[in-house]
Amino acid sequence: MQMNVSQQLKESIGSIRNYELSEIVNIAGTSSMVQGEIRLTRTDRGILVKGTLHTEVEVTCSRCLSLFNCPLALNIEEEYFPITDVVSGAPLPLPEEPVCFTIDEHHVLDLTEAIRQYVLLAIPMKPLCREDCTGLCTSCGHNLNQEPCNCPPQGTDPRWSELSKLVSAVDLRVNEGKEQNK
Ligand SMILES: [Zn+2]
Ligand SMILES: [Zn+2]
């Protein structure tokens, strides 16, 4: 995801380049295909990168715990600042923003780190392999997307509720015992 922008840095403010990207990028230890179109615009300070990139990363479903490929759309908008003057080669002061992306001394603009950061932000907090994922059975742990399990429906069979009362009573006694031993 590297582009040499030395020519564009010599152009006047507002000059535009469009790039079609299609590249494998290493994100968090795995290689993912990143594709899309971005537009580079010359600004008074550097180059503004804007566009939407598409990729997929492997994540764990928060309900059924299976691995699946989660498609992500990255709406990139970042200004890149050159660290050296393209004409004189003199070092340039960086803006005072706490974090900023830079164009290196060879006038190469590298999108990889920005893509990595956008991916981490785009991954949902609770990913779902599909909207209607039925998840795992809370009793036996079976993946209910594959087929129903043989567990009785919860809260309907009185024998199970009696048993669970017994279990919690035993738990209580065990805990009390621990308290007394202290
Ligand atoms: Zn799932
Ligand atoms: Zn079950």
pLDDT digit string, tens, across residues 81-135: 999 999 999 999 888 877 789 999 999 999 999 999 999 999 999 999 999 999 9
What gap in Å lies between CA 151 and CA 68, rounded to an integer? 26
Ion ligand 1 neighbours, Cβ < 5 Å: 61, 63-64, 129, 133
Separation of CA 67 and ligand 2 centre (Å): 20
- Residue 16 three-state SS: strand
Q: How far apart are CA 154 and CA 162, in angstroms?
A: 13
Torsional sign, CA 163, 169, 170, 175: positive
pLDDT of residue 95: 82
Q: Which has more confidence, 61 or 158?
A: 61
Burial 113-130 (b: 16+ CB within 10 A, else e): ebbebbbeeeeeeeebbe
Q: What is the pLDDT of residues 6-39, one digit of tens each?
A: 999 999 999 999 999 999 998 877 889 999 999 9
Whether residue 80 is predicted with pLDDT greater than 60 in this model: the reply is yes
Kindly state the DSSP code that residue 131 receives in the 8-state scheme.
T
In this model, does residue 173 exceed pLDDT 90? no
78 closest CA partner among 106, 115, 107, 108:
115
Residue 149 CA, ligand 1 centroid: distance in Å: 16
Q: What distance lies between CA 182 and its chain's CA centroid? A: 47
Ligand nearest to the CA of 144: 2
Distance 50 CA to ligand 1 centre (A): 33
- Residue 170 predicted with pLDDT over 80: no
Q: Where would I find the H helices in the chain?
A: 6-10, 112-122, 158-181
pLDDT of residue 64: 96
132-148: per-residue pLDDT in tens? 999 999 999 999 999 99
CA torsion through residues 123, 124, 129, 131, sign: negative
Query: Residue 139 and residue 55: Cα distance in Å, rounded?
Result: 36
Separation between Cα atoms, residue 145 and residue 81, nearest integer Å: 49
136 CA distance to ligand 1 middle (Å): 8
pTM score, whole prediction: 0.75
- Mean of pLDDT values over 150-178: 65
